[in-house]
Amino acid sequence: MFGNVASSLLGGGNKSDLKISADKVDTVLSSSSSTSSISVSAWNEIGKTLESLQTTDEEKEFRSNLKGGYGLEGSPLHTVRLYDADQPKTTNDAIRVVFYRDHASWCPYCQKVWITLEAKKIPYKVVKINMRCYGDKPASFFKLQPNGAIPVAIIDDQVYNQSNDILQILERKFTPEMPDGSNHMALSPPPTNTILQNQAQQLYQLERELFSAWMGWLTAGYGKQNFVDILRTVDDVLQRADGPFFLGSHGLSLVDIQFAPFLERMVASLLYFKGYKIRTASKERVTTADSYPGINAWFDAMEELPAYQVTKSDYYTHVWDLPPQLGGCRTDTSNKDIAASEIQIIQDKINGEHSSSDGTSSWDLPLQPDNDGLEPDWTFLTVTGNDEAAARREAVERISFNHEAIVKFACRGAGSKGFPNFGAPLSDPNAVPNEIYRNSVDACLKVVCSAMLASQQSKKDTTKKGEGGDDNDEQQQCTMLMDSLAKMIVTEGGPNFANGVIESLSYLRDRIGVPRDMRLPAARQLRAYLNWSIRFIRDASP
């Protein structure tokens, strides 16, 4: 999918012809506000509408919290984290930890450290480093970590470059009731509790056994029974525990944090590559020989924790980030347990591809809840009231705040591939954007953002949710605007130019990363609204 998009050069047309096309389109766009039906809102107007619709303090204060390092909820965009603005102790001076983690939020070992810092509310600074498959690392990083691996942490001026060492030292140095008045949750059983300590040690071993079995099945294509046997043991441990977490009534511990990044990746990758389902929605949960009630209850409890929520990725991101890290994952095509066609349907749904069986796409409006039951693990964001509107606002905020860079990034889709290239299909840091599409892509993104906000601006009937039902006035205006814009791009620019705009919007859609760019409900909305705009241009094309 990405190969087709990224490798196309200049939308298939002659370079100077396309420049002439772009000039014609740009002329209409620059005169549009007063004279034609293509009156696209400016970014600052979109920003104002967004502000008027924001409801929670967390939303309204998102950017100021990022700057100050504050917020009840962390964000992958935080580069400094101080937690509570009302706590006088949490100033920059309190920072004793510098955390080097991967830029794309793909690395499971970084995720362990990230969850620990957030759960213990330890103030920290973040330095983002590329993974090898994603881009280059700065030379200075190799001084801290000669083999280039992440995570690394500098704690009280001492460098630690193994995730488990980092967890242990954080646990030792940041404790409940510190002399300076700060209070950091204990995540290990007390040394006096040897029973629980031994149990934790055994569970660390079990986690590595599960990891090896998963790697075997995922990358070599055999070893399912071995994996299932160990996963069953993990589920039994959780079912026997007197609470949802591994150490039962002790509550959240480093054992849970060791398991979390890998169980999260197992759920996504085994569903996609093997058609093997571990995670189920609570309403569908029945105890059968194939179900994992302990693991599902554990996930439910983990997903209630802001410290885990901020790090949580989606299936799409995982199934594209794991193969380049692991040197490939194998899809089981001849499998007695599930037909290849069923695996294909799952893959199409996760990728937002149009299904060969019924032509639908999971990345089209109206969105099906939990991706038609396939990805039921974002209940923490989707149970409350007007959740779809909140997700759209999140997407609009992220796009509108950084629109210039995002438009330029999207234009890589109609540009040329970079050299040298890197292993991850989602990454091409040296790609050259084709900026003749800049104004058209910018206009489409503005209409996409207006349309996402319009669903909340119903004048006629506040109970209507938008897509799937009758549209409100603003939605109808956005639909007409996108229709006019698409027709103008095709008539003034010609089909090759229009194709370049589609390639740019598609490139952006396919590279929305969770949690790096936004949370899954917001990412799903944005992917679907980008497809909405693409469809108008396609429909207007000959």
Ligand X SMILES: N[C@@H](CCC(=O)N[C@@H](CS)C(=O)NCC(=O)O)C(=O)O
- Side-chain half-sphere exposure of 312, counting CA atoms within 13 A: 27
Q: Provide, rounded to whole angstroms, the least separation between the CB of residue 516 and ligand X.
A: 15
Cα 208 to Cα 146, 265, 305: the distances in Å are 25, 14, 24
Q: Provide, rounded to whole angstroms, the least separation between the CB of residue 220 and ligand X.
A: 19
Binding mask of the shown chain, residues 53 to 92, with x at each position contacting ligand X by CB under 6 A: ----------------------------------------
Q: Based on CB atoms, which residue is closest to ligand X, 59 or 209?
A: 209
Dist. CA 298–CA 260, nearest whole Å? 10
| Stretch binding ligand X (CB under 6 A), from 84-92, 106-114, 196-204, 497-505 | 106-114
Q: Based on CB atoms, which residue is closest to ligand X, 164 or 168?
A: 164
| Stretch binding ligand X (CB under 6 A), from 130-138, 171-179, 345-353, 444-452 | 130-138
Dist. CA 284–CA 293, nearest whole Å? 11
Q: Provide, rounded to whole angstroms, the least separation between the CB of residue 184 and ligand X.
A: 21
What is the footprint of ligand X within residues 161-190 (CB under 6 A)? 162-164
Using the rule CB under 6 A, which residue among 5, 25, 107, 488 binds ligand X? 107
Residue 181 CB neighbours (<10 A): 9
Using the rule CB under 6 A, which residue among 96, 132, 224, 417 binds ligand X? 132
Q: Provide, rounded to whole angstroms, the least separation between the CB of residue 258 and ligand X.
A: 10
Task: For residue 8, state whether it binds ligand X (rule: CB under 6 A).
Answer: no
Amino acid at 447: V
| Stretch binding ligand X (CB under 6 A), from 52-60, 103-111, 453-461, 515-523 | 103-111
Burial 390-418 (b: 16+ CB within 10 A, else e): bbbbbbbbbbbbebeebbbbbbbbbbbeb
The dihedrals phi and psi of 296, each to the nearest 5 degrees, come to -65, -40
Q: Provide, rounded to whole angstroms, the least separation between the CB of residue 75 and ligand X.
A: 21
Using the rule CB under 6 A, which residue among 131, 210, 436, 482 binds ligand X? 131
Decide if 365 contacts 468 (C-beta within 8 A). Answer: yes
Positive or negative torsion for Cα 32, 38, 39, 41: negative
Q: Provide, rounded to whole angstroms, the least separation between the CB of residue 325 and ligand X.
A: 6
Dist. CA 15–CA 533, nearest whole Å? 25
Using the rule CB under 6 A, which residue among 70, 83, 99, 109 binds ligand X? 109
Q: What angle do CA 348, 353, 355 make, to 5 degrees?
A: 65
Task: Count interface residues toward ligand X (CB under 6 A).
Answer: 13
Residue 453 bridge partners (DSSP): none
- Sheet strands (E) in 121-192: 124-129, 152-155, 158-160
Q: Based on CB atoms, which residue is closest to ligand X, 261 or 294?
A: 261
What is the footprint of ligand X within residues 137-166 (CB under 6 A)? 148-151, 162-164
Q: Which residues bind to ligand X, rule: CB under 6 A?
A: 107-109, 131-133, 148-151, 162-164
